[in-house]
A and B are shown apart, each in its own frame.
Chain A
């Protein structure tokens, strides 16, 4: 295969994925049946993936997808009751005459459709474990097989997960429109949460045997970009996109050659992606001007301070400390307090950080990250033996393999250092 063919195949794939939510939006709106439309569009995408490379891309690719999907729906309904069949045929005739979107309305429709689809797929009645794959298929245009392989489960298992999610949606009676204005803020929070979890799913496993999963971060960024295009003025949407870009910028420095975790303090900052940092910083700077920031904006602001620092020691720790303080007040999340303890230690010395930890020990004393943070601060304070014990306790408690390797190695090296020091 020549390089030209490879890039041709790639651009056909990215065209299909870009058109997927538009085709689905059009079909779902006309037939009023999201669940069936989603299946029909998935089949149309699979058909296009085999036929377009052979026959050439049609002049109106979106119209082609809508027509094929509409035909599938008609075929499917044909076996159902006669009343429904007549209605469907009528709908498909009118569709054939207006094969594409009305000129001029195209962009608005596409933006709204993406938004409606995200609200549907991240419906509060769905767990994140169902909402994420459904969003990837319906909005991201991924195939069930691709999603199954990214989540390392067999295809039939993933197909069932998606179809159950759609059954739940159908039972909820959610219409294919934007939610009423008074519900929109709450529903948007669900969408942002799902995209945030999807990003972390990929970011937490970004190399080695989990390589395919790192694509999930890329998908999350793509979806966040689409959401941002639909709601360009929403500061938390901008904040989430900025957070993803500013975090993803560090990916090249975050793991060593063997896939081992490299903590922020030890990363080679020259390997960070400057273009992503510039874009993320400019997004978050603009969002912060719009008033009281939400949690994604605060997290993005913290990430931006880290990304701009020439080294760990020269980081703007007082600024990070104040941002964590605001985040803590906003979310009440004890994990934020742990991060604030690190910032306190860096800004005011390890003793101050350890004192802060003593205050939350009652709530978090058995959590592995409490031990990990305590280990770091004890190490900073020069107490290697106690730090090693904390890292060992943290390693036993984590459910993440790479984190476990890191914490075990940390405990071992401190224990060895301690033995040398005392002997």
Chain B
């Protein structure tokens, strides 16, 4: 079963300040935590892909009617907090395991090593095979 674990630029559970205000050591610890988690997921045979996305300032929104010139809006947008910040795509045995990974990712360390409680959205990827069909 495949799951997308998504995280947005929304408020986090711990109310910690934005990352730009963290100490360099705290930022390093946070990044290392993410790398260790990814390595662990590869070692368990579960990681398909993990990516962080460029910030809301670089985002562009494109709308087209298929005929005229597309309308392009540059970010950041007023509702930037709902913008996707990054994702992990995992291939796991059960939905429970996806929740477990999400919980681990949510507790990534923030300032002073305190878990930031990042909300992680867990979404199953369609096209899982269906043996009873």
Chain A residues close to B by CB (< 8 Å): 127, 129-130, 151-154, 156-158, 160-162, 164, 196-197, 200-201, 203-205, 210, 335, 369, 398-404
- CB pair B129–A200 under 8 Å, yes or no, is yes
Chain A residues with Cβ under 8 A from B128's Cβ?
Answer: 399-400
Contact of A157 with B130 in the complex, beta carbons under 8 Å? no
Q: Would you call B13 an interface residue if the criterion is a C-beta within 8 Å of the partner chain's C-beta atoms?
A: no
Given A157-B47, A157-B48, A204-B133, is A400 in contact with B127 using a C-beta cutoff of 8 Å?
Answer: yes
Q: In the assembled complex, which residues on chain B have CB atoms less than 8 Å from the CB atom of A399?
A: 1, 124, 126-128, 130
Contact of A160 among B44, B48, B49, B130 (CB under 8 A): B44
Contact A197–B48 (Cβ < 8 Å): no
Which residues of A sit under 8 angstroms from B93, Cβ to Cβ? Answer: 127, 129
Q: Which residues of A contact B126 (CB under 8 A)?
A: 398-401, 404
CB under 8 Å from chain A, chain B span 54-110: 91, 93
In the assembly, what is the distance between CA of A153 and CA of B133, in Å?
Answer: 24
Please report the C-alpha to C-alpha distance between residue A15 and residue B46 in the assembled complex, in whole angstroms: 32
CB atoms of A335 and B45 under 8 A apart: no
A205 pairs with B132, CB closer than 8 A: no
Nearest CB of A to B27, in Å: 27
Q: How far is the CB of A336 from chain B (nearest CB, A)?
A: 9
Residues of A within 8 A of B124 (CB): 399
Contacts of B1 in A (CB 8 A): 399
**Residues on B with beta carbons closer than 8 Å to the beta carbon of A154:** 42, 47-49
A335 touches B48 (CB 8 A): no
**Bound complex: CA of A400 vs CA of B48, how far in Å?**
19
B131: CB under 8 A from chain A? Answer: yes
Closest 10 CB pairs of A and B: A161-B45, A204-B129, A200-B131, A401-B127, A401-B126, A160-B45, A399-B128, A400-B130, A335-B132, A201-B129
A404 to B1, CA, bound (A): 16
Q: Smallest CB–CB gap between B20 and chain A, Å? A: 32
> Among A161, A200, A210, which residue has its beta carbon within 8 angstroms of that of B127?
A210
Assess whether B21 is interfacial by the CB under 8 Å rule. no
Shortest C-beta distance, B77 to chain A (Å), equals: 29
Contacts of B91 in A (CB 8 A): 151-153, 157
Complex Cα distance, B91 from A154, in Å, reads: 11
Contact, CB under 8 Å: B131 / A204: yes
For A160, the chain B residues whose CB sits under 8 A away are 42-45
Complex Cα spacing A332 to B47, Å: 36
Tell me the smallest distance from the CB of A366 to a CB of chain B, in Å. 15
Residues of B within 8 A of A (CB-CB), count: 20
- The interface residues of chain A lying within 8 Å CB-to-CB of B133 are 200, 204, 400, 403
**B48: shortest Cβ distance to chain A, in Å?**
5
Most buried by A among B42, B45, B48, B132: B45
Residues of chain A lying within 8 A (CB to CB) of residue B45: 130, 153, 157-158, 160-162, 164
In B108-133, which residues have CB < 8 Å from any A CB? 124, 126-133
- Across-interface contacts of A401 in B (CB, < 8 A): 126-127
Nearest-CB residue, chain B, relative to A261 = B133
Closest beta carbon of chain B to A33's beta carbon, Å: 22
23 A-B Cβ contacts within 8 A? A129-B93, A152-B48, A152-B91, A153-B91, A154-B48, A156-B42, A157-B47, A157-B48, A160-B42, A160-B45, A161-B45, A164-B45, A200-B129, A200-B130, A200-B131, A204-B129, A204-B130, A204-B131, A205-B129, A369-B132, A399-B124, A400-B133, A401-B127
Max chain A C-beta neighbours (<10 A), residue from B46, B48, B91, B129: B129
Q: Is the CB of A403 within 8 A of B130?
A: yes
For A369, what are the chain B residues with a Cβ–Cβ distance below 8 Å?
132
Residue of A nearest to B95 (CB): A399
A201 CA to B1 CA, complexed, in Å: 11
> Which residues of chain B are near A404, meaning CB under 8 Å?
126
In the bound complex, residues from chain B placing their C-beta under 8 Å from that of A158 are 45
Q: Do B129 and A157 touch across chains, with their CB atoms under 8 A apart?
A: no
Contact flags (1/0) for B18-45 with A, using CB distance below 8 Å?
A: 0000000000000000000000001111
By beta carbon, the residue of chain B nearest A133 is: B45
Bound form: Cα–Cα A204–B48 in Å: 20
B83 to chain A, nearest CB (A): 25
Bound-state CA distance A153–B132 (Å) is 24
**B47 neighbours in A (Cβ, 8 Å):** 154, 157
Contact B129 A400 (CB under 8 A): yes
Give the CA-CA distance A312 to B80 in the complex, in Å.
Answer: 54
Q: For A335, what are the chain B residues with a Cβ–Cβ distance below 8 Å?
A: 132
